[in-house]
Copies of this chain bind each other. A is one copy, B any other.
Amino acid sequence: MSERVVDLGFARVDVDREARQGAPEVVYGPGKTAGEIAAVVSALLARNSGPVLATRIESAVAEAVLAAVPGGAYEPAARLLVWRPAPTGSFAVAVVTAGTSDGPVAAEAAAVAGALGLAVTVVRDVGVAGIHRLLAETGRLRAADAVIVVAGMEGALASAVGGLVAAPVIAVPTSVGYGAALEGVTALLAMLSSCAAGLTVVNIDSGFGAAMAAHRLAHAAARHASPSAPEPGGRR
């Protein structure tokens, strides 16, 4: 067991996860000091060979972590730190947003997915109040192997997209909106109740969760295509 876990005292790092799931453990920033983040990242870099990520990192913290652990890059819109990004593979993911306010969540989804080796396209600002904007992008949506839909308020975009494409749809409710939008709970419930069959949903504002779900899909597709071949994104 000592091979599979690194105990840093304040944290127990699951260095086995890369072997088990095709991607290393991802560091969740809030509540950790820059020093703690750096220590976990260093352990992951030393004991794994694939990409290492830290999410929800504010810029001041990012600077401190990068000083301690060189070789990484910070994407401010996504609040993401990345070391050793995977080479871009062939699995195509479209990240679609309803409005400009959904941008930060979409940025996290896109950046995490990209760092894990997925081929990402972003389709912005195609909410259903102007449905022709969405229909004009049908081609780009249908070209994707999976679609991540990022929408707040009533989240109707997920249903509309779900009806247009045959690919897996991962819906991300956002906390955009006020009053009856209930900090994203309304979009969450709406997406779960969608009349479009076979949608799946992740937590509110979890661009990260959607990207990880897409990574699982890419993993499955690659394995299904060729069980003995290396996995997408070069992670094995």
Contact = CB atoms under 8 A, between A and B. Distances in A.
Contact of A188 (B169, B180, B205): B180
Contacts of A1: 132, 136
Interface string A194-224: 1111111111111011011111110111111
B194 A198 contact: no
Given A201-B200, A202-B201, A212-B198, A192 B168 contact: no
A192 B201 contact: yes
Nearest to A1: B136
Given A128-B196, A216-B169, A103 B177 contact: no
B225 A213 contact: no
Given A98-B195, A156-B154, A180-B193, A132 B4 contact: yes
A226 B222 CA distance: 11
A153 interface: yes
Contacts of A192: 179-180, 188, 201-204
A180 B156 contact: no
Interface of A: 1, 4-5, 10-12, 14, 16-17, 20-22, 25-26, 28, 30-32, 36, 90-91, 98-101, 103, 124-133, 135-136, 145-146, 153-156, 159-160, 162-170, 173, 175-182, 184-206, 208-209, 211-217, 219-226
Given A10-B124, A14-B129, A32-B100, 9 more contacts: A20-B163, A129-B159, A130-B163, A155-B190, A188-B192, A192-B201, A192-B202, A197-B212, A222-B224
